[in-house]
Amino acid sequence: MDRLKFYIDGKWVDPAVPAILGVVNPATEETFARISLGSSADVDRAAKAARRAFASYSQTSVEQRLGWLRGIINGFRARLPELARTMTLEMGAPITFATERQATVALFHFEEAVRVLGSFAFEERMGPGIVRHEPIGVCGLITPWNWPLNQVASKVAPAISTGCTVVLKPSEMAPLSAMILAEIIHDSGLPPGVFNLVNGDGPTVGEALASHPEVDLVSFTGSTGAGIRVATLAAPTVKRVAQELGGKSANIILDDADLRASVIAGVHACYTNAGQNCQSPTRMLVHVSQREAAFDAARTAVAAIRLGDPLLPETTLGPLVSQGQFDKVQKLIQAGIDEGATLVAGGPGRPAEMNHGYFVHPTVFGNVTPQMTIAREEIFGPVLSILNYETEDEAIEIANDTPFGLAGFVQSTNPERALRVAKRIRAGRVYLNGAAFDRSLPFGGYKQSGNGREFGIYGFREYLEVKAVLGYSG
């Protein structure tokens, strides 16, 4: 599965300077593919190709762009099983989850782009003038490994829909699905230079992209620390920066909720994608009087999890993506023990039945206090912290006591009470009573969870400049 070329200006080309990186299957710890690592010279070549293409592509009609999008959608559907299996191999998502969620929701972003583009008002009358929404230009897109195709699609689809051109840097840890997408885009007939892909690491290719003078916007998904670096590098050229960063989302189970059902659902939501999910409800807030019942329900939820080979359809929890991520999660589990939290389920080490792979025990901590490390830091693994509150106001205070603000969750049998609490949570999304994840509504964070929004019409707006035209009498 070697993929040693980059996609630049409509062609697969060799890197400027040869450098090889192995892609590791996290379930086997074996290298199963190789990619090339790019350099600033590769980024420069791609950015200049995107700039040349922008002059004509920005003037294409909505119908033309809809045609290319539909071609991408058709190609994506035809190769969806291949894309899903590739993501299972490159980042460990169980094959059922990779098919039904990882690949399918990525496809949704292109389908949603067709829906939004078909009725989007790029020009409108406003008072004495005209307001135009015009493509911002060349977009540098930097995406993570945890949702390796979803995050790519959520940026690429609105960018090319609005008339922008792009240079994509997928994560070097899970790059292969994005390279298949590049083949699909090529086969759609999208003009050369509109979409470009350069593999590489963050300190080299990512930083070159964020600072490149030909790039008008950089959209980044990843850690808050890396996001700060991207914004710093982008500042001298005053490019627009859109970021979706870390999270430490609270799940407030109010005292009138169905406790057992809410806890079981909350545990499984926390473990989505092996907990490698930026908006996971990793802090569960339970009324102090319901503490022991919550622990019992959490143990029931953990017992239902099927850990194992991610290529088997019955597996529900796969490995973490890498040795580094495994080590980080182990350190944080130990911190929870050392700081006095109650180990309700799971714990440190690799499960005894798994003799290889970056597998961890699905873990639940109880009696967690707001100042413990596991309640403050984003763990990015299947680790849940259960905290207790006495009043509704205290629950909201605990939920907001975090530098992050990506998502929140509220459970209550009273919809008005749930909404009242949701309005007080400082986060970009709040889910009430197990509401499904919707990719037509805006997604993004408050505070150190980022700025800007993705998905649907709000995702389009990130890639558009606003121009006012005055004095036209026609």
pLDDT of the chain along its 474 residues, tens only? Answer: 899 999 999 999 999 999 999 999 999 999 999 999 999 999 999 999 999 999 999 999 999 999 999 999 999 999 999 999 999 999 999 999 999 999 999 999 999 999 999 999 999 999 999 999 999 999 999 999 999 999 999 999 999 999 999 999 999 999 999 999 999 999 999 999 999 999 999 999 999 999 999 999 999 999 999 999 999 999 999 999 999 999 999 999 999 999 999 999 999 999 999 999 999 999 999 999 999 999 999 999 999 999 999 999 999 999 999 999 999 999 999 999 999 999 999 999 999 989 899 999 999 999 999 999 999 999 999 999 999 999 999 999 999 999 999 999 999 999 999 999 999 999 999 999 999 999 899 999 999 999 999 999 999 999 999 999 999 987
Residues 211 and 263 in one domain: no
The percentage of the chain sitting over the pLDDT mark of 90, rounded to a whole number, equals 98
| Judgement on whether residues 192 and 298 belong to the same structural domain of the protein | no
- Asked if residue 171 and residue 48 are part of one domain, the reply reads yes
Does 185 lie in the same domain as 36? yes
State whether 256 and 344 are in the same domain.
Answer: yes
* CATH, residue 192: 3.40.605.10
Residue 443 lies in a domain: no
**239 and 263 fall within a common domain:** no
Residue 393 lies in a domain: yes
Residues 111 and 255 in one domain: no
Sequence-separated (6 or more) residues with CB below 8 Å from residue 111 = 73
User: What is the count of structural domains for the chain?
Assistant: 2
* pLDDT tens digits, one per residue of 265-314: 999 999 999 999 999 999 999 999 999 999 999 999 999 999 999 999 99
Same-domain status, 356 and 412 = yes
Give residue-wise pLDDT tens across range 192-230. 999 999 999 999 999 999 999 999 999 999 999 999 999
Any domain includes 274:
yes
CATH of residue 375: 3.40.309.10
Query: Is 444 a domain residue?
Result: no
Longest Cα–Cα distance of the chain, Å, equals 76
In a domain, 1, yes or no: no
Q: Is residue 284 a part of any domain in this protein?
A: yes
Q: Are residues 256 and 380 in the same domain?
A: yes
- In this structure, the answer to whether residues 107 and 136 fall within a common structural domain is yes
Catalytic residue ranges: 244, 278
Task: Say if 231 falls within a structural domain.
Answer: yes
Residue 43 sits in the same domain as residue 160:
yes
Domain residues for 168?
A: 6-245+449-470
pTM: 0.97
